[in-house]
Structure 1
Amino acid sequence: MDRALGLLSLVASGDGRGVPITFLTDASGLSRPTVRRMMIALIRAGFVEQDAQTRAYHLGPESYIVGQMAVRRFDLLGLAMGNLLALSAESGDSSFLSVRRGSYAVCLHREEGSYPIRTQALQAGDRHPLGVGAGSMAILAALPEAERRIVRDDVAQEIRRHYAGYTVGVIDKSVAIAEAQGWALNPGQLMANSWGIGVALRAPTGDVIGAVSIAALDSRMQPDRQPMLAELLTREARAIERKLERRLAY
């Protein structure tokens, strides 16, 4: 079930575009026959559809129904939208909301700031292993150590294959720094000249559910500006958590 649900998340990462089986096999590390068997099961259940001409996979009607049910209880983007607007207005830079999906972080929304030169390191729908990028690193650093080890083992092969700027040692060092200061910094490891700062989001249960982050050119993320951006992010992250607590109380 873990693997099948992981494939469903990969289909969702297509953001409305069809996802070919080659993408699913590369991203999941599963064999083509295994992916095909699981996709057939998801198609039977209505969670996935396959285009008859392109053979690409799309989310099916059951995914929409389940999503609508979830929104009634847990519309994180709806709750956080005003906070993202505030972050981008005050910083002038792009702000992001990411959610945790197992060992990965998925970007739900990107809100542009007023600064004319923008980084393109992260877009809505992008999915990266936990530890890759500022928001993703903030999520990883907020997890208990035992859970971090599980995540690290789960994504180690993908990081080696697809993320040249990252190693286990680099991620462990970043986790230690993020734990100590309460926010995560990505100093251009994912994309040169694109820096980011992230702060984790928690559910009322204490579970880590996502992160808010800000990304900008390296010239706008130097040490003299980092504490101010981290303070903005922490303020808005706590405000989102309070709204979520009120929502789930009803």
Structure 2
Amino acid sequence: MTAGVEEKPGSGPRRQKVQSAQIGTDILKGLAELSPSTSLSNLAAHVGMPASKVHRYLQALIASGFAEQDPGTGHYCLGREALFVGMAALRSLDVAREALPKLIELRDEFNETCFLAVWGNQGPSVVHVEKPARAITVVTQVGSVLPLLCSSTGLVFSAFLPEADTQHVMQQELTSPMSPTRAELDQQFAQIRSRGMHAIHGLLMTGVNALSAPIFAVGNTVAGVITMVGAEPSFTADLSGPHAEKLLAVTRAISERMNGVMPGSTQ
């Protein structure tokens, strides 16, 4: 029998693999926090590692599809595989599980595009879409990040989320010469909170309208926003019409299941 050396717990190749995985995830988090893209030097400073070490890990992440490098700028960003994993994680959230049957119900009743968005680090992110059974539909893609101040989804998030959560995105959009004043926004947010939903008419695309309402979870935190979007004349996005009535009923039912309370609820 040949005597061997007992490997101490937490040492050897296994520990090295764990450390490598931790470094890789730290770099991925860094790419996410510095998105949409960043230089090698900025990323290295952000994660507190030598640039040469970060570069080695980035090459492995690029090879696996979790990172990409812009050939023009040399900057790095998250790759398609990272987006796939992120979207899968978002779809596994309680709000997505609770909302899916209701999204299908809403789509089936009105034959319009219905989608769920959650708040991501860059703003409202679409995590599930139910498309209508018609030849021409309003295209909304899973993974799309919607504007904060010129989409009904973004405006509903802005009205109900704490300002600290939306401030970094809002400040960027307020620099546009077409953006509303802060006073105009505050008035609009007050109306959205009072109605419990919001409608836009042709704001992002001429002839395309949208209705959005929030979903609340424990502590009355905004867990997501459901939006119904369609083209005129079949979809007018009337705040007092049947589409709005059904959308509010759907979001209220999901909120109740998640122990949240919709505005105007008698709970």
TM-score normalized with structure 1 length: 0.67
User: In 1, are the aligned partners of 2:155 and 2:189 still within 8 Å (CA)?
Assistant: yes
Structure 1 residue aligned with 2:79: 58
| Mapping of residues 69-88 of structure 1, within 5 Å | 71=92, 74-88=93-107
Instruction: Name the CA distance, whole Å, in 2 between partners of 1:68 and 1:182.
Output: 28
- Secondary structure in 2 matching 1:128: coil
Q: CA deviation at 1:111?
A: 0.5
Q: Is 1:230 matched up with 2:230?
A: no
After superposition, what is the alpha-carbon deviation per residue over 1:162-202, rounded to whole angstroms, capped at 9, x for unaligned? x7764345644432331232211122222232211100011
C-alpha spacing 1:102/1:90, structure 2 compared with 1 (3 Å)? same
C-alpha spacing 1:5/1:226, structure 2 compared with 1 (3 Å)? farther
Structure 1 residue aligned with 2:23: none
C-alpha spacing 1:206/1:106, structure 2 compared with 1 (3 Å)? same
Structure 1 residue aligned with 2:37: 24
- Secondary structure in 2 matching 1:208: strand
Q: CA deviation at 1:215?
A: 0.4
Match of 2:154 among 132, 136, 147: 136
Instruction: Name the CA distance, whole Å, in 1 between partners of 2:235 and 2:91.
Output: 36
Structure 2 residue aligned with 1:16: none
- Secondary structure in 1 matching 2:206: coil
Instruction: Name the CA distance, whole Å, in 2 between partners of 1:68 and 1:75.
Output: 11
After superposition, what is the alpha-carbon deviation per residue over 1:116-170, rounded to whole angstroms, capped at 9, x for unaligned? 43222x3211113434422222222223xxx33x456422443256x77643456
* Aligned residue pair count: 215
Structure 2 residue aligned with 1:34: 42
Match of 1:167 among 165, 175, 180: 180
- Secondary structure in 1 matching 2:204: coil
Structure whose CA Rg is larger:
2
**Which fold has the larger relative contact order, with Cα–Cα distance below 8 Å and residues 6 or more apart in sequence?**
1
Instruction: Name the CA distance, whole Å, in 2 between partners of 1:90 and 1:167.
Output: 35
| Mapping of residues 110-125 of structure 1, within 5 Å | 110-120=129-139, 122-125=140-143
Match of 2:195 among 181, 197, 202: 181
Which deviates more from structure 2 when the two are superposed, residues 175-184 or residues 78-87?
A: 175-184
Instruction: Name the CA distance, whole Å, in 2 between partners of 1:76 and 1:9.
Output: 24
User: In 2, are the aligned partners of 1:97 and 1:212 still within 8 Å (CA)?
Assistant: yes
C-alpha spacing 1:9/1:211, structure 2 compared with 1 (3 Å)? farther
Q: CA deviation at 1:8?
A: 2.0
Counterpart amino acid of residue 113 in structure 2: S
User: In 2, are the aligned partners of 1:187 and 1:218 still within 8 Å (CA)?
Assistant: no
Instruction: Name the CA distance, whole Å, in 2 between partners of 1:159 and 1:69.
Output: 25
TM-score normalized with structure 2 length: 0.63
Structure 2 residue aligned with 1:106: 125
Which stretches in structure 1 are left out of the alignment for 5+ residues? 12-22, 26-30
Instruction: Name the CA distance, whole Å, in 2 between partners of 1:32 and 1:168.
Output: 37
Instruction: Report sequence identity in percent.
Output: 19
| CA-based RMSD | 4.0
